[in-house]
Structure 1
Amino acid sequence: MKIVLITGANRSIGLETAKQLSEKGLFVYLGTRDLRKGEEAVRVLNEKGFQNIQAIQIDVTNVESVLVAKNIIEKEKGQLDILINNAGILGDVPQDASTTSIKNIQKVFDTNFFGVITVTQIFLDLLKKSNNPRISNITSGLGSLTMHSDPNWKYYSIKAISYVSSKTALNAFTVTLAHELKELKFKVNSIDPGYTATDFNQHKGPGSVESAASFIIKHTLVDENGPTGKFFSNDIEDESEESPW
């Protein structure tokens, strides 16, 4: 049974991803900053028949928290097959480039960028014990500089400096990490689940959490011939589903 860790998974897309992976027979560590919320989410899932899901406390902005989570998984399972870096925040809005405070930008980067690097680096040795390690960095179409430069893009007007730049930086991490691990069996990709209706955006997105989770899983559970170092988006209307950087 493959072992999965999903950060920020006690609600919305992360929670739905945990459910769908569980249905596929994987064991899922449901990562959450507030363990009580995570345990409550798991309790509800258990009542619905999902048994191979376990809550684990992990605050991606706290190194000690990540180390504790790593030690728990190592003791219980001995390895990690899949890491889905899903935890993310929007930050205070509005986010105009000319007026948004450095404090606001740094707060978003702490979770969306530095948090991902922290978790990935700490769990890398457990992932290397897997026969087919996978790292999926959950990004946003708003992280594409190419799309932001196209006035015809439907989200062209959304220029939130804290969030947008954090996801662009995250995509850069994906590219560099995938290159570093390309001689191993790793597949490292940025995955944009699309503009989804969640608490994150006051449920304004047109997409469903079911579709978002399914898209993440599709581009995570790739075989040995699958791509690495790519950027996939659920909002791209193309057969490849690949987004420009």
Structure 2
Amino acid sequence: MSVTHIRVAVVTGGNGGIGLEICRQLASNGVSVVLTARDEKKGSKAAEDLQKSGLSDVIFHRLDIADRSSVRQLAEFVKTEFGKLDILVNNAAIAEQPLI
């Protein structure tokens, strides 16, 4: 699928809330979207739901932003599948323990 004129986006934490809506908006505007989430079941379902709504250019890839190996796997996937990345939306967060 290495077509250079398409725009490619990765959205971290794309399985719900703001991330899911960002995926929807990007795909609605002709962008190929890699929806990522730590939870494979939730991420796959979110991508499937968007596909069923007519947004066929949304695919799921598991990503745990706290795991360097997972980040490398995503980078290799995007490079192999698309050859480039145009948009990165870093919506996922890492929850830290409070200091108190």
Q: TM-score, normalised by structure 1?
A: 0.37
Runs of 4+ in 1 over 6 A off after TM superposition: none
Alignment match, 1:61: 66
Alignment match, 1:48: 53
> Any unmatched runs of 5+ in structure 2?
1-5
* Residue in structure 2 matching 1:88, options 93, 96, 100: 93
* Residue in structure 2 matching 1:75, options 53, 76, 80: 80
Alignment match, 1:123: none
Amino acid of the structure 2 residue aligned with 1:45: L
Alignment match, 1:166: none
What is the CA distance between 1:90 and its match in structure 2? 4.9
Alignment match, 2:17: 12
Where do 1:144-159 residues align within 5 Å?
none
Equivalent position SS for 2:44: helix
The structure with the largest strand share of the pair is 2
TM-align CA RMSD: 1.4
What is the CA distance between 1:34 and its match in structure 2? 1.5
Q: Which has the higher contact order (CA 8 A, sep 6+)?
A: 2
**Bigger radius of gyration:** 1
Distance between the aligned counterparts of 1:32 and 1:90, measured in 2?
15
Distance between the aligned counterparts of 2:95 and 2:85, measured in 1?
28
What is the CA distance between 1:50 and its match in structure 2? 1.1
Q: TM-score, normalised by structure 2?
A: 0.87
How many residues align? The count is 95
Alignment match, 1:115: none
1:24 maps onto 2:21 in alignment? no
Distance between the aligned counterparts of 1:59 and 1:89, measured in 2?
10
Amino acid of the structure 1 residue aligned with 2:9: V
